[in-house]
Amino acid sequence: MAGPRRLTQNDIAKLAGVSQATVSLVLNGAQTALARIPQETRERVQQVIRTTGYVPDPIARRMAKGLNRILGVFTYEPAFPSEQADFFLPFLLGIEEEAQAQNYDLLLLTGAGVGKDRKIFADGNRLRIADGCLVLGREFDRAELKKLVAGDYPFVAIGRREDAGGPVPYVGGDYTTATRALVEKARGLGHSKLAYIGPSGPAESIVDRWNGFSAAVGDGADLVLHIDAVGRPADEILAAVFAKGATAAFFVELADAVRVEVAARERGLSLPGDFSAVVLGSHVRAERSHVQFASFNIPREEMGRQATAMLVRRIEGAAPIQQILLTCEPVEGETLGPAHAFWPAKKRT
C-alpha cells in the first residue's frame, strides 16, 4: 500500500494563499529578498509550515541551489602512505570535522598523475563534482594556482600562498612570527652565533621561517652557518656547527635535529648543556625522539577546520577573499638553554 503523499511547496502555497515562489523565498531566500515580502505574509507561510510539519526535500533544495554539498580535497602528494601521513592527517581531521558540522560530504581528488605529475586540471579531472575544493601540499603547482585564481571555481588553500595573478584565499600558520620569537628567545639567552639547517625556499612555509629567522638575527647576532638543504649526514652537520662556533642551531626539519642530537650524545655532548637546538615547527610523531625540542606548535587541525568553513562561505555566498594566519604557540622543550662560549675540549674529538 502506498504511503501518504509528501507535501510540496505548491501545497504550502495553496494553504497559505500565496504563490509557490513566495514559499520558496521564505524557505531559501536571502535577507534582501525576504525584505520584499510583508511580515504578515511571511508569518502566515511559516505558520502553515509549522502546522503541517512540512520538511523541504533536501535533494530538491540542492538542485535549486545548484549544489551537491560535496567538498573536494586535493593534495599534491599522496595523503595516505606512511611517510606522508604525519603531514596530512591533522589537516584531514580538521577538514572532516568541519565538513560534518556544515553537512557536507568529502571527495578526495587524486588527479590523473602521480608524484610531480599529479595535477588538479589533469585530463578527465572530476573537479566539478564537488562544489568547491580545498588544496593542500608542501608545494603547489604555480600554473595551476593561477588557473584556479582566474577561474570561477571556489577553492581555499591550506597554508599561505603568494598572489597568483590575484589574491589567493587561504588559512595558514604564522611561521614568521613564531620563528622570530624563538630566535629572540635564543638571543636573550646569550646566543649570538647561530646556525640554520635547512633551505630558505621556495615553498612559502619555508620562506616564512627564513624571513622570521633573518629578521630576528639583526645587530648583535651572526648567522655563522647555513646548510641550505635537509637530510645531510648528522656527523657532517655537527662538525660544521662546531667548526663555525655556533651555540644554537635552528632546524627546518625535525628529522635532522633528531639525528644530530643522537650523534652529539654519542660523542658525549648534551643538549642544551653543550649547545642548543631549535626545531621550526612541531611534527606529528615527535615521540620518535626521546627529546622534546624547543619549537612552536602548528595548529594543523584548526587550519583544516577554518579552511573548510571559509570554503563553505565562498560556495554559499559571495564571501570576500580572506587570508588568515593562525598563531603558532611556542613549545618550551628541553633543548634551548644559555649559550656557552665553547664546547669542552675533551668532547671536541
**pLDDT value at position 67?**
80
Pairing label, strands 295-296, 248-251? unpaired
- For the chain, give percent helix, strand, coil, nearest 5: 45, 15, 40
Q: Please determine, for residue 3, whether its predicted confidence score (pLDDT) is greater than 90.
A: no
Residue 322 falls in which region: left (phi positive, over 0), alpha (psi -120 to 50) or beta: beta
Between 76 and 335, the more confident residue is 335
In the chain, where does the domain assigned CATH 3.40.50.2300 lie?
A: 70-168+300-326, 175-294+332-347
DSSP 281-322: S--TTGGGSSS--BEE---HHHHHHHHHHHHHHHHHS-PPP-
With b for 16 or more beta-carbon neighbours within 10 A and e for fewer, the 176-185 pattern comes to bebbbbbbbb
Q: Please determine, for residue 253, whether its predicted confidence score (pLDDT) is greater than 60.
A: yes
Give, in words, the CATH class of 175-294+332-347: alpha beta
**pLDDT value at position 123?**
66
CA distance 42 to 30: 13
Residue 330: φ, ψ to 5°: -70, 150
CA distance 223 to 213: 10
Domain 70-168+300-326 sits in CATH 3.40.50.2300: yes
In the chain, where does the domain assigned CATH 1.10.260.40 lie?
A: 9-58
Residue 276: φ, ψ to 5°: -105, 155
**pLDDT value at position 2?**
42
DSSP H or E segment with residue 279:
strand 276-279
Residue 314 grid cell? 565562498
Between 189 and 88, the more confident residue is 189
**pLDDT value at position 320?**
87
Residue 151: φ, ψ to 5°: -90, -175
Q: What average pLDDT score do residues 248-265 get? A: 95
141 — pLDDT class (breaks 50, 70, 90) = confident
Residue recorded with cell 628529522: 255
Angle, helix 175-188 to helix 204-217, in steps of 10 degrees: 30
Of 107-111, 156-160, 172-176, least confident by mean pLDDT is 107-111
Is the sign of the CA dihedral 115, 117, 120, 124 positive or negative?
negative
Which residues lie below 8 Å from residue 127, measured CB to CB, with a gap of 6+?
72, 109, 120, 121, 133, 153
Q: What average pLDDT score do residues 316-333 get? A: 92
286 — pLDDT class (breaks 50, 70, 90) = very low
Q: CB of 272 within 8 A of CB of 335? A: yes
Quick one: what percent of the chain has pLDDT higher than 70?
83
Q: Please determine, for residue 121, whether its predicted confidence score (pLDDT) is greater than 60.
A: yes
**pLDDT value at position 89?**
86
Between 186 and 22, the more confident residue is 186
- The hierarchical CATH code for the domain 9-58 is 1.10.260.40
pLDDT digits (tens, 9 = 90+) for 203-220: 999 999 999 999 999 878
